[in-house]
Chains A and B, each alone.
Chain A
Amino acid sequence: MRSKVLKVISYVLLIVCIIWLSYNMDQRDYKRYNSIPSLPQAIGKETVLITSAGQSTDTYIVKDIANRLRIHNFFMPQALEPDLEGINTVVFVVGFSEIGEKLHGITFENEKKRVDLLLKSLKKNEVTIITVYLGGKHRRNMNTDTLLRMTCSKSQYLIATVSADEDYYLSNLSNEYKVPITLVKNVKNISEPFASAFR
């Protein structure tokens, strides 16, 4: 009986430790050497096209942020070249989602090709490109990294959550392509740097 009580107490202590650790680990310092809190001056102009690179649901969050900030936008997760007509800024929300792509009946290769064509067209027309990545470290995989590299190489601004940069992949991309980067603590903090790109 006594050993059973001790067992229960030890399990409860273990759970308390886990919760305490998780709380404290969340308070880590998120500063990165090249991260800026927001852009000093606007780089983008309306009208904005919000599209996806990888078909994750994160695109819908960016769409909602843009709407809340009253930034005139078109939301086309599968935008193609003809959709760029009258568009001054394109926001790529990167994040590879297998189910998302299956839902739209496309493969990763199709998606890569679409993004590549869009980027080429945008570069040609000198349209501002902003890359947003909200997936954190867990959505980071080979496909997401490929898409990140593709968009970052042509972007003028990169916004991501800090947990996505644990291996400094995003910081390195920023350095490599000379793109200003803003790392936010979590998704809720994205509004400010996103707004700074337009106002």
Chain B
Amino acid sequence: MLLDKMNTEKKSVLWAAILLIASLTFPKLAENVWFDIIVKIREAAVTGDSGHLVLASAFSSFLFAISNSLIFLSVSQVMVFFKKKHKLASVILFVLKIGSFIAINAIITKIYSIPWEPVTTLVALTLLLILAKNRKANYGYFIQEAMVSVQVFIAFQWLNIMPIFSMYYFGQSDIPLSIKITGMYINSTSMLNFIGFCFFLPFVFSAILTTTLFKSHEQNIFIMRENYQKERELQIMKSKAIENRIYQEINLLAHDLKTPLVTIRGLNSLLTMTKDEAKLETYSHRIEGAVVKMNEMVSSFLYGSSRQLVSPEELINYIQAQIPMEDDKLKIEIDFDEILPKILVNKVRVVRAIINFLENAIVAPYRHAYKYISIEVRALGDGLKISITDNGIGIEPSRLPKIWEVGYSTGQTSGLGLPFAKQIIEENEGTVAVESEFNKGTTVTVFFPAAKGFDSDDLRRNNNEIE
């Protein structure tokens, strides 16, 4: 709990202190093991059993490795603090690391008269620093560094007992030297060389492999974080785009509201002029009708779950009102069955969705002399099918599955219309499908189930409850 509250620098200092104390007390705690090693070497000399020498070598490598790892990790944690707090250059940190590592080792050797192997230890330290190069001290780094350092130090300590490396000042201290002299006496020089290599190579290989894996993991985490960040940014952008779409819809609604308002205004001016009571009643009913229409439009927009019983004729009229009449190169044909079922939908929203499909058909590029759009409204099974077919260039099969994705566009549109329209259709219990043949055209088919068991009064009551 306390560790969680501490910042990284304080944690580093705390760990460094703990590890330093551990490295200073470890030789004292391990004193009996050192003595045990001496006893094993003596037994090897007396019995001629090289197994004792292997055990003594293993114990000494382990002790050297633990002691050096503790010092290394302690120094490493201090350097993490210096790096973050004082922003020291890498070269200075490198020198400081080596310097403090040697200094602590010298102090421990002085205090406890425990031998240390300067050559192998410094070579191991150099390899560790190379392996740790370009790594970031992020979460889990300490454990990773501990695992690698133990492996590297164990590996290099095995070189100390190899007589073949004696001339390079490997294994000059008391224990490795005793092992080598005894090994020579009991004719185990080759065995010591072989055992040394057998332990050195796998440990070094394992340390390098472990570091590579940790680095690769670190890189993967970095890429994942970057992707997550990008995904988040994309989501934010999409949300903003949808928000803009809603504003666009509000604008369109406001525009649609102007029609009944104009009606009300006109009728109102007529009311002031006429004195015919019959006409007054007619105008008054029309004004009431316009107000009801406005109310329906606002309700439909505000409450997505509000539903109205809509006749296909009404729907067709709405659609026709949106068709641009001034474009000579645009031919739109509407064909519908005589008997069509009514549907129960949010009128304003569904009309906007269908107009969206129609707008897409209008703006779709084409290679013919004119753009031909066919709208078919048919009774299909137990519902109503509306198909919009154009003679545009169509959509490539590979792109077809992506058209419902937010932000996906072939270039002419914002990429928000189709997903928005699909969402509305599905919210109103409908389905939508797109079929396209490249270079021939596209057909959008919308299907709504027919309204059943509802009369207008039920609906009005239902919508009033929603409001």
Contacts and interface: CB of A to CB of B under 8 A. Distances in A.
Interface of A: 19, 22, 25, 56-58, 60-61, 63-64, 97-100, 102-103, 134-136, 138-139, 186-188
A99 B42 contact: no
Given A100-B38, A134-B181, A60 B174 contact: no
Interface string B178-192: 100110110100000
SS class, residues of chain A in contact with chain B: helix
Interface string B13-54: 000000000000000000100110110011001101000000
B309 interface: no
A138 B172 contact: yes
Interface of B: 31, 34-35, 37-38, 41-42, 45-46, 48, 113-115, 164-167, 171-172, 174-175, 177-178, 181-182, 184-185, 187
Given A22-B167, A138-B172, A139-B174, 4 more contacts: A57-B45, A99-B38, A136-B166, A188-B185
A188 B35 contact: no
B296 to A, nearest CB: 73
A187 B174 contact: no
Which of B45, B48, B182 has the most chain A CB atoms inside 10 A of its CB? B45
A57 B182 contact: yes
Contacts of B41: 57, 60
A20 to B, nearest CB: 11
Nearest to B42: A60
Given A60-B46, A138-B172, A22 B181 contact: no
Contacts of B34: 99, 102
A57 B167 CA distance: 21
A99 B34 CA distance: 7
Given A63-B46, A97-B174, A135-B177, A25 B166 contact: no
17 contacts: A22-B164, A25-B167, A56-B174, A57-B42, A57-B45, A58-B181, A60-B182, A61-B185, A97-B178, A99-B35, A99-B37, A99-B115, A103-B35, A136-B177, A136-B181, A139-B174, A186-B184
Given A57-B41, A98-B115, A187 B177 contact: no
B38 A187 contact: no
B194 to A, nearest CB: 13
A57 B164 contact: no
A61 B181 contact: yes
Contacts of A22: 164-165, 167
B340 to A, nearest CB: 71
A58 B185 CA distance: 10
